[in-house]
């Protein structure tokens, strides 16, 4: 039986109550516990002399008790224990709360190692509730786990130790022997032992590399298996190329990059046995919509329907309007299908879709629900794909007889990460903006300059332009430093902008209300739109020339870049004003990057460097499974795991070979959290 099927309560000291706490950490079985890897390590050998500690730092000191522990009772009957310790360089006070046993654990005159955060106080430094150990215990490096209220590190450590002891003598290693050898990886049993309780730093690093490799390999295999399904044969071919006659009707000349993108898609759909599987990556404003329209036109003229899925109602609505205008007079019918439509209207739309009366269907994820049936879906397009899970994309693909798939993304993703999420998608990059665009000028200011910035916005509005102001919160939160859209808008309406129409937009509003506000803004009935990041995606108001972002430090660079893309879409010179009083966490470096460049790829790379991949993979929307140990910053291991995945699938395309069957089980387990059935 797998340890993933053994409940955690079989471990000594873990009853129902503790099990519930562990559950909060995602740990329910003994197997989970074993793969609950430490978040960090404490190195008890790394001792700092007391004279050299600094305020706020977490350190280890090695010191002797200079006096016996003294305990007093304080309010609420709680116990407060104090001790003074010293080493050759100085003295420090230790404070413990409510620990009845502390005076028997720490003896006068004896030496211990103490670890904790130091604080400066009147006469020197103190440590609050430090952990401690005898200098002789030998375990220099101890694991630090993610915790939850009620569970301390010591309890988790003990439980993990116990769980490790339940591993069988001989562990079945899912990595085939030749992979271990080729990439110089340690065996699983060594890895599990040393990731939790490393003998030394180099053992920990070995263990880590092996586990990261394995996890990335399993992720790679899963993504590839999932994609190979969408690489099935298709009978949908579109032999004739009608895109030229459509492009002629557009009010502008396509850029070279747009033309190349159309050609790529048309060729993909021409006479191939496998369906198109293409990603178009183009910075905000690069004109992806027109490319899609040409692809849809070509699809319809070849006798099929096309579907275009957007991540939000607002965006679906906007695409619907854009398409309706572009296709006016072509005889092609455009259908809108979104979640907020009345059931009756939805039903009617679906009937038309099923009957084949709608040629191009634009919608939200409602499009992929089971009750939508296409008569002859030839091509499915998803916009701003990073908002869709991989699974949703697959579901849209399953709507027809292997339709052609086109994915649009405005989020430039560093290449190493792109290889994982996009795997074997063919990629077209639109690396050119339509002519006449000037770069958005970006300024980074502190809040003492806010009034001047608002004055600047007022001048723009007086010239007829419009502005966005983005706040991180909808309403007042715990953190008084954080701006919220409601109060901010109220202040503007009472202050500088009392004579101007100001609107509010945020995610807590009903879809209908959001749309109404967005419509007002795009009709220039509102001068200022105070909003949360819901404006991030795709909306297109050419008359808007200023984007001011409050608490700019709160947002990842990629988000800032997306937000900034809302302005500079028309003929007017545009501005982005980043407001932040925050220092630290690379804030200055990050925000200066925004001022320096408008290049999305450069920004994405910088974001990855400064903040790690969390920004790209931080939430589950991407449909990627939760990883236990790997991240994507280790590009070498990433590349190796990719190579190994390719090799293994070459040997056994569905991993049913004896040597890979255990890996197959791992793939299934990893992806079980995504709701994606990988059979």
| CB of 127 or CB of 290, closer to ligand ADP | 290
CB of 391 to ligand ADP, least distance (A): 24
| CB of 258 or CB of 593, closer to ligand ADP | 258
| CB of 97 or CB of 252, closer to ligand ADP | 252
Q: In the numeric block, which tokens belong to residue 557?
A: 């660079």
Sequence-distant contacts of 643-649: CB under 8 A, at least 24 apart: 644/179, 644/182, 644/183, 644/213, 644/217, 644/220, 645/217, 645/220, 645/221, 645/224, 648/176, 648/179, 648/217, 648/221, 649/221, 649/224, 649/225
Supply angle C-alpha 254, 322, 467, rounded to 5.
95
557 binds, among ligand ADP, Mg ion, none (CB under 5 to 8 A by kind): none
Is 224 in contact with 423 (CB distance < 8 Å)?
yes
Question: CB 16: neighbour CB atoms within 10 A?
Answer: 7
The reply to whether 282 sits near ligand ADP by the rule CB under 6 A is yes
CB of 565 to Mg ion, least distance (A): 9
The residue count for binding ligand ADP (CB under 6 A) is 17
Angstrom distances, CA of residue 354 to CA of 238, 346, 348, 380 = 21, 12, 10, 15
The reply to whether 600 sits near ligand ADP by the rule CB under 6 A is no
Which position has the token pair 């920990």? 204
| CB of 567 or CB of 648, closer to ligand ADP | 567
The reply to whether 290 sits near ligand ADP by the rule CB under 6 A is yes
Among the residue ranges 346-354, 500-508, 532-540, 587-595, the one whose residues contact Mg ion (CB under 5 A): 532-540
Is 161 in contact with 63 (CB distance < 8 Å)?
no
Contact pick of 174, 285, 613, 625 for ligand ADP (by CB under 6 A): 285
Which position has the token pair 């080729």? 182
The reply to whether 311 sits near Mg ion by the rule CB under 5 A is no
| CB of 258 or CB of 531, closer to ligand ADP | 258
The reply to whether 255 sits near ligand ADP by the rule CB under 6 A is yes
285 binds, among Mg ion, ligand ADP, none (CB under 5 to 8 A by kind): ligand ADP
- Number of DSSP helices (H) and strands (E) in the chain, helices first: 23, 22
Angstrom distances, CA of residue 527 to CA of 491, 497, 536 = 15, 9, 18
Of 527-546, which residues contact ligand ADP (CB under 6 A)? 540
286 binds, among Mg ion, ligand ADP, none (CB under 5 to 8 A by kind): ligand ADP
Strands 131-133 and 124-128, sheet pairing = unpaired
Q: In the numeric block, which tokens belong to residue 509?
A: 């509003």
CB of 291 to ligand ADP, least distance (A): 8
| CB of 389 or CB of 538, closer to Mg ion | 538
CB of 386 to Mg ion, least distance (A): 12
Contact pick of 97, 108, 177, 252 for ligand ADP (by CB under 6 A): 252
Contact pick of 130, 378, 503, 538 for Mg ion (by CB under 5 A): 538
Contact pick of 61, 217, 254, 337 for ligand ADP (by CB under 6 A): 254
Is 145 in contact with 39 (CB distance < 8 Å)?
yes
CB of 305 to ligand ADP, least distance (A): 22
Of 373-432, which residues contact ligand ADP (CB under 6 A)? 410
Is 328 in contact with 297 (CB distance < 8 Å)?
no
Supply angle C-alpha 174, 180, 185, rounded to 5.
105
Q: Which of 521, 516, 514, 515 is nearest to 474 (CA)?
A: 514
CB of 13 to ligand ADP, least distance (A): 56
Q: What H or E segment, with its residue span, contains residue 305?
A: strand 305-309
| CB of 266 or CB of 410, closer to ligand ADP | 410
Residues that bind Mg ion (CB under 5 A): 538
Which residues would be at the binding site for ligand ADP (CB under 6 A)? 252-255, 258, 282, 284-290, 410, 434, 540, 569
């Amino acid at each position: 039986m797998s340890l993933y099927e053994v409940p955690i309560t079989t471990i000594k000291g873990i009853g129902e109550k503790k099990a519930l706490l562990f559950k909060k950490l995602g740990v329910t079985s003994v197997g989970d516990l074993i793969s609950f890897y430490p978040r960090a390590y404490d190195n008890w050998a790394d001792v700092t002399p007391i004279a050299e500690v600094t305020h706020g730092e977490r350190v280890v000191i090695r010191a002797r008790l200079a006096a016996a522990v003294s305990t007093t009772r304080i309010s609420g009957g709680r116990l407060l224990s104090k001790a003074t310790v010293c080493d050759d360089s100085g003295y420090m006070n230790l404070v413990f709360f409510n620990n009845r046993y502390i005076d028997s654990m720490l003896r006068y005159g004896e030496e211990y190692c103490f670890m904790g955060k130091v604080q400066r106080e009147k006469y020197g430094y103190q440590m609050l509730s430090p952990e401690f150990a005898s200098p002789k215990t030998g375990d220099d490096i101890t694991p630090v786990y993610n915790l939850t209220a009620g569970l301390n590190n010591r309890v988790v450590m003990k439980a993990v130790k116990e769980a490790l002891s339940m591993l069988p003598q001989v562990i079945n290693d899912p990595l085939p022997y030749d992979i271990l050898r080729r990439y110089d990886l340690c065996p699983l049993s060594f890895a599990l032992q040393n990731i939790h309780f490393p003998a030394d730093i180099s053992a920990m690093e070995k263990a880590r590399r092996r586990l990261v490799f394995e996890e990335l390999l399993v992720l790679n295999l899963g993504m590839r298996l999932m994609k190979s399904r969408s690489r099935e044969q298709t009978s949908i071919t579109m032999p004739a190329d009608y895109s030229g006659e459509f492009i002629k009707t557009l009010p502008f000349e396509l850029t070279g990059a747009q033309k190349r993108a159309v050609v790529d898609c048309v060729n993909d759909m021409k006479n191939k046995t496998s369906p198109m599987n293409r990603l178009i990556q183009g910075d905000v404003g690069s004109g992806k919509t027109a490319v899609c329209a040409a692809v849809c036109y070509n699809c319809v003229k070849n006798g099929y329907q096309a579907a275009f899925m957007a991540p939000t109602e607002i965006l679906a609505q906007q695409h619907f309007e854009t398409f309706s205008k572009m296709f006016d007079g072509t005889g092609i019918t455009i259908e809108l299908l979104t979640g907020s439509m009345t059931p009756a209207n939805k039903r009617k739309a679906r009937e038309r879709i099923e009957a084949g009366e709608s040629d191009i269907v634009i919608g939200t994820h409602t499009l992929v629900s089971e009750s939508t049936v296409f008569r002859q879906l030839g091509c499915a397009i998803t916009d701003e794909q990073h908002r869709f899970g991989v699974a949703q994309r697959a579901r849209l693909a399953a709507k027809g007889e292997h339709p052609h798939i086109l994915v649009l993304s405005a989020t430039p993703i560093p290449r190493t990460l792109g290889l994982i999420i996009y795997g074997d998608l063919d990629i077209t990059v639109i690396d050119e903006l339509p002519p006449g665009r000037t770069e958005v000028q970006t300024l980074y200011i502190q809040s003492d300059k806010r009034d001047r910035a608002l004055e600047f916005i007022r001048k723009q509005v007086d010239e007829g332009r419009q502005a966005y102001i983005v706040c991180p919160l909808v309403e007042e939160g715990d953190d008084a430093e954080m701006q919220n859209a409601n109060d901010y808008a109220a202040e503007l309406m009472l202050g500088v902008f009392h004579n101007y129409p100001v609107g509010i937009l945020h995610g807590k509003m009903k879809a209908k209300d959001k749309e109404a506000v967005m419509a007002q803004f795009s009709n220039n009935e509102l001068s200022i739109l105070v909003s949360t990041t819901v404006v991030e995606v795709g909306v297109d108001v050419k008359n808007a020339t200023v984007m001011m972002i409050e608490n700019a430090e709160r947002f990842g660079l990629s988000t800032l870049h997306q937000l900034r893309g809302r302005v500079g879409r028309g003929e007017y010179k545009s501005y982005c004003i980043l407001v932040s009083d925050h220092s630290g966490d690379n804030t200055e470096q990050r925000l200066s990057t925004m001022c320096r460049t408008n290049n999305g790829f450069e920004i994405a790379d910088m974001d990855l460097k400064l903040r790690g991949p969390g920004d790209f993979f931080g939430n589950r929307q991407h449909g990627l499974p939760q990883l236990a140990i790997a991240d994507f910053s280790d590009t070498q291991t990433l590349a190796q795991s990719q190579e190994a995945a390719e090799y293994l699938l070459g040997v056994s395309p569905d991993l049913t070979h004896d040597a890979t069957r255990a890996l197959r089980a791992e793939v299934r387990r990893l992806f079980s959290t995504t709701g994606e059935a990988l059979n």
